[in-house]
């Protein structure tokens, strides 16, 4: 089981951060959506120790509780 570190928030604020253990990266994304309060436009940084985190943006939160993530492109300064 892999251990993923995550940070969830918006452009100005990190609301929640922690660790998720799961069998796969896809399952880790799903678990964050199920266990955390996620709103459309929120950003998620998630990864494993030793590698830069992947960055996603929530694009939809239908009424059934599922969360749809889209890879977020971070532009260079």
What per-residue confidence (pLDDT) applies to 22?
Answer: 95
Whether the pLDDT of residue 11 is over 90: the answer is no
For residue 49, the model assigns a pLDDT of: 92
Q: What pLDDT, on the 0 to 100 scale, is given for residue 8?
A: 95
Buried b (16+ CB within 10 A) or exposed e, 39-75: eeebbbbbbeeeeeebbbbbeebeeeeebebeeeeee
pLDDT of the residue at 71: 93
The pLDDT of residue 24 is 94
The pTM of the whole model exceeds 0.85:
no
Average pLDDT, the chain: 89
């Amino acid at each position: 089981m892999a251990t993923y570190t995550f940070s969830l928030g918006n452009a100005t604020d990190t609301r929640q951060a922690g660790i998720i253990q799961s069998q796969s990266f896809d399952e880790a994304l799903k678990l964050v959506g199920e266990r955390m309060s996620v709103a459309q436009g929120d950003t998620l940084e998630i990864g494993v120790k030793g590698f830069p985190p992947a960055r996603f943006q929530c694009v939809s939160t239908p009424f059934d509780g599922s969360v749809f993530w889209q890879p977020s492109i971070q532009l260079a300064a």
